[in-house]
């Protein structure tokens, strides 16, 4: 029998491997079920909460739809005609006749339907187009419903999209041609392996699904990520300060200090040598420093936004100046780090502290009136719910923040891994960017509550004196420091039109640059890659037009990376081109604590076993 199957080219699964996989699945499932039952018995049963107000939003939607039955009937009729056209074209295709143009096609860049069978095989093409027709009509119906307030409309749009994305035929074994082929080829071994992967991820998440995006064992901090050599020269409860080893015989006199966000870890700016911003800046002759924020636990629950200013960004300025002997620095802040940087500038301005020579803002929001899709998660009910959770633990769990960001791009950051890991039964591919993306961080309760309420909910930062920190009324309009804002046109976290409004707040000379791509790729865009390009509007320097549309209408598109444009800008400032002999980290006023990347960045939540 075995000789016959071999002659026919049939490769049956190895019985020993199948038995091993089945045993692992059984053991994992039994352990997870037992732990789940024990935990539920201990915790008790709680009524499901709707902190985001999703149920109410869809009840409002239903009421509005029922109030206009004619429009709903018209939508259903239009969808019926689309299905009729699809059925007619599919029948012609099945019989080998040249069919009409597709009724529905995927958007450019939609990787769910990249397998050629989605187009060539009439059955899979029919399923694909059926789904796209339904998705289009459902979305159009929801988004065009009259009478909903803006925030409710935003909620129903967002969660309808999550529902539509979840039901894609690409997410199911029998309706995904690639999974179907693999299932036939492996006699279902892919699904068994996928179930094992699923249980492994639930196990790693302590009963909650934590989808693995990459093989974390393939990376080691300081070995193949965060590799730029340097030294930690200062640390306190909130951050470590890293100075990088010089790469040029002399360096610019003004040190360069980067304030990364503490929602993520700093090494997005130092993933690999070829795309590392800190490596590139040091290679251009900058004495580069970066803050590596601590991953906080309950002991830091009371650390506030004020602490992050006084003990964080301001303390970093103090230490860089003391270490180098300079009286001013060039600074840059990324996302939330940029929000803190501008707040620090306003604080220093009120104190007549002029130690910041220039400030650069990567995808930074200062005016939160248009927060994009993140606004779905940020209303009074949602923030109150988060505050309750944070009060119990002392911090916001990093996985909750990561899950929110992943939902903004669910097809790329959730469903593609569901298909790969659980349906195809494959292990995640080693990818440094996804290693960083899965390296989530916590938020101290006091700081995060202040940030959400004062920035997102009440939008006070843009108002002169809207917030007070350490007894100082924060007024961005009084900041006269030269500023460079770089935002990205496809940013889904800090929409560029929102960041543009913030760029108009300070009163000093301001340059706004719009990069290509999104929140990460548009910033981590080294010159050697020669990708994306950027828009500038030199006619508006120092006096930005009132609207982002006016800025873009008069802008010029430039090839290459904004990094070189920024370097020309910062070195053209008064005193910006002056140089000194290269500064070694161990030759300054501060003592070296340990080599870069330091110990703070190495603490990963997804490798910690919960008590």
List Cα–Cα distances, 253 to 504, 575, 582, in angstroms. Answer: 29, 8, 9
Find tokens 């050697």 and name the residue.
528
**C-alpha to C-alpha distance for 447 and 282, rounded to whole angstroms:** 32
- Work out whether strand 534-536 and strand 510-515 pair parallel, antiparallel, or are unpaired: antiparallel
Nearest partner of 461 among 489, 501, 496, judged by Cα: 501
**C-alpha to C-alpha distance for 570 and 321, rounded to whole angstroms:** 18
For 248, residues 6+ apart whose C-beta sits below 8 A from its C-beta are 282, 283, 284, 285, 582
Residue 577 token pair: 């081109």
Q: What's the per-residue H, E or C state across 389-422? A: HHHHHCEECHHHHHHHHHHCCHHHHHHHHHHHHH
Give 423's DSSP letter: I
**C-alpha to C-alpha distance for 308 and 333, rounded to whole angstroms:** 13
For residue 259, the number of C-alpha atoms closer than 13 Å in the C-beta half-sphere is 33
Helical residues (DSSP H) of 468-599, grouped into ranges: 496-503, 548-553, 562-572
List Cα–Cα distances, 99 to 82, 84, 88, 96, 177, in angstroms. Answer: 15, 14, 8, 9, 21
- Work out whether strand 356-362 and strand 483-488 pair parallel, antiparallel, or are unpaired: parallel
Nearest partner of 422 among 248, 176, 593, judged by Cα: 176
Tell me: cis bond preceding 8? Omega within 30 of 0 counts: no
**C-alpha to C-alpha distance for 393 and 414, rounded to whole angstroms:** 27
Active-site entry in 226, 257, 335, 401: 335
What is the Cα Rg of the chain in Å? 27
Specify which residues 488 forms β-bridges with.
515
Helix axes 150-166, 54-66, angle to 10 degrees: 100
**C-alpha to C-alpha distance for 539 and 542, rounded to whole angstroms:** 9
- Work out whether strand 510-515 and strand 483-488 pair parallel, antiparallel, or are unpaired: parallel
Is 335 assigned a catalytic role? yes
Catalytic machinery residues: 335
């Amino acid at each position: 029998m075995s000789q016959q199957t071999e002659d026919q080219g049939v490769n049956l699964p190895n019985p020993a491997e199948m038995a091993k996989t089945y045993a692992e699945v059984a053991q994992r499932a039994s352990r997870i079920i037992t732990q789940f039952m024990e935990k539920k018995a201990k915790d008790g049963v709680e009524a499901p909460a709707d902190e985001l107000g999703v149920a109410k939003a869809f009840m409002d939607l239903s009421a509005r739809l029922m109030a206009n039955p004619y429009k709903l009937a018209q939508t259903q009729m239009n969808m019926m005609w689309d299905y009729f056209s699809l059925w007619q074209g599919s029948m012609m295709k099945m019989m080998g006749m040249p069919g009409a143009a597709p009724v529905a096609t995927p958007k450019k860049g939609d990787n769910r339907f990249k397998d050629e069978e989605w187009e060539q095989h009439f059955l899979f093409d029919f399923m694909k187009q059926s789904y796209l027709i339904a998705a289009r009509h459902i979305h159009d119906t929801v988004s065009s419903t009259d009478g909903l307030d803006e925030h409710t409309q935003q909620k129903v749009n967002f969660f309808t999209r999550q529902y539509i994305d979840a039901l894609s035929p690409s997410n199911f074994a029998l309706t995904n041609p690639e999974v179907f082929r693999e299932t036939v080829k492996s006699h279902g071994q892919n699904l068994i392996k996928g179930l094992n992967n699923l249980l492994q991820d639930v196990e790693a998440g302590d009963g909650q699904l934590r989808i693995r995006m990459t093989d974390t064992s393939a990376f080691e901090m300081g070995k193949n990520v965060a590799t730029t050599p340097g030294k930690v020269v200062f640390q306190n409860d909130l951050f470590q300060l890293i100075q990088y080893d010089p790469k040029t015989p002399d360096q610019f006199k003004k040190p360069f200090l980067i304030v990364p966000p503490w929602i993520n870890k700093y090494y997005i700016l130092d993933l690999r040598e070829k795309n590392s911003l800190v490596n590139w800046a040091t290679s251009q002759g900058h004495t580069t420093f970066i803050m590596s924020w601590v991953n906080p636990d309950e002991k830091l629950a009371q650390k506030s936004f004020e602490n992050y200013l006084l003990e964080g960004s301001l303390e970093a300025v103090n230490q860089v100046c003391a270490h180098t002997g300079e009286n001013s620095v060039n600074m840059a802040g990324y996302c939330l780090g940029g929000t803190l940087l501008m707040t620090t500038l306003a604080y220093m301005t009120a104190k007549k502290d002029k130690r910041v020579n220039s400030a650069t803002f990567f995808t930074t929001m200062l005016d939160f009136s248009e927060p994009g899709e993140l606004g779905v998660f940020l209303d009074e009910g949602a923030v109150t719910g988060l505050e309750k959770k944070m009060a119990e633990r002392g911090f916001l769990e990093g996985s909750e923040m990561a899950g929110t960001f992943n939902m903004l791009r669910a097809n790329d950051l959730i469903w593609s891994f569901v298909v790969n890991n659980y349906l195809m039964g494959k292990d995640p591919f080693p990818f440094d960017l996804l290693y960083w993306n899965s390296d989530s961080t916590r938020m101290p309760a006091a700081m995060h509550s202040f940030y959400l309420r004062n920035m997102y909910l009440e939008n006070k930062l843009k108002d002169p004196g809207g917030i007070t920190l350490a007894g100082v009324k924060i007024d961005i309009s009084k900041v006269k420091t030269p500023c460079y804002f770089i935002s990205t046109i496809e940013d889904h976290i800090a929409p560029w039109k929102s960041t543009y409004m913030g760029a108009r707040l300070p009163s000093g000379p301001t340059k706004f640059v719009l990069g290509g791509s999104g929140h990460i790729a548009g910033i981590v865009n080294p010159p050697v890659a020669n990708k994306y390009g950027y828009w500038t509007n030199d006619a508006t320097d120092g006096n930005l037009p009132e609207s982002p549309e006016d800025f873009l209408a008069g802008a010029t598109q430039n090839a290459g990376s904004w990094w070189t444009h920024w370097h020309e800008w910062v070195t053209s400032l008064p005193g910006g081109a002056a140089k000194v002999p290269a500064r070694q980290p161990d030759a300054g006023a501060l003592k070296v604590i340990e080599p870069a990347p330091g110990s703070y960045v190495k603490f990963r939540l997804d490798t910690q076993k919960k008590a």
